Amino acid sequence: MKTQQLGRTGLEVSSIVLGLMRIDALDDAAIDALVRTALDEGVTVLDHADVYGGDHLCERRFAEAVKLTPSERERVVIQSKCGIRDGFFDFSTAHILSAVDASLAALQTDHLDVLLLHRPDALVEPEEVAAAFDQLEAAGKVRHFGVSNHTPLQQELLKTVVRQPLVANQVQLSVTHSSLVSTGVASNMEGLEQSVHRDGGMLEHARLNGTTLQAWSPFQGGFFTGTFLGDREQYADLNDVLEELAEAHGVTPTGIATAWITRHPADIQVVLGTTKPERVREAVAGSDVRLSRQEWYRLFTAAGSLVP
């Protein structure tokens, strides 16, 4: 398993993150098998959110099914998110504090290793966030803080008051949903859709500031439009290259799709949303594959991006 540092914390973590958004439909045995497979394969980061399953349901199901021992708890990084409510976002001090307390109770733990603000709140008041973070840190309830889907300027706005480093930013990224990367490749080209900036230089900002990017939906064609893996109707060329490189490297197409992300020198983590243990094993195997530049760009262009 490829490992890396989380932000500039000095905390060594796995390049694969097990996302637990979909476990509410599984029975306890299946949840335990999924998590145990990930841990056995070297995954050290478990990703939650208060809204997964609705009202902390997936957090509760995880704790009830897996029952980590104290020593196991110390070896894993439990990450959760808050801020999404029913039809609106809420980064108020009161909501952040209450959401974290509810997550700790659901997860049956006394601290979160990482707390992310879940998507940007248009009505954010950085002072409110700072007050919540300070109280959570002082109480030992949260050790590290970050965001999800935040632009560079949204992060900089928070940092005018927030003292704690923003160690991670969880963003959507796959070889077919790659504007985070592809815009920079085709910058300054008038009239080209790929040249349109949608995130304000999120990738470069993360590298400059030592923020770890965490790629969610790493196998999705778009915004929950279905996986590109095996989809020959829309992604025939890409699947040809995925299969060719999978055979060459002794992994599966899932592994190669993972390797496309982990090859980037920004040390991007891959957040799996799967409920299948075998998909976890395939992704972990892929994280150890180092694609050549030529292979990486072949996948990039086969997925539809332009190399001018």
Active site residues: 52
CB 137 within 8 A of CB 101: no
CA atoms of 168 and 146, how far apart (whole Å)? 5
Nearest-angstrom CA–CA distance, 12 and 6: 6
Which amino acid makes up residue 38?
A
CA distance 50 to 65: 17
Backbone φ and ψ for 151, nearest 5 degrees, come out as -75, 165
> HSE of 122 in the Cβ direction (CA atoms, 13 Å)?
2
State the pairing for strand pair 16-19/12-14. Answer: unpaired
Q: How far is CA 145 from the centre of its chain?
A: 14
| Phi, psi of 115, deg, nearest 5 | -120, 125
Q: Which is nearest to 174 in space by CA: 226, 103, 249, 233?
A: 226
Q: How many residues does the chain have?
A: 308
Q: Who contacts 97 (Cβ-Cβ below 8 Å, separation ≥6)?
A: 132, 135, 136
What would the two tokens of residue 23 be?
A: 């476990």
> What does the DSSP 8-state code read for residue 211?
P
The half-sphere exposure of 55 on its side-chain side, counting CA atoms within 13 A, is 0
Query: How many Cβ atoms from other residues are within 10 Å of residue 198's Cβ?
Result: 9
Nearest by Cα to 203 from 223, 177, 183, 174: 183
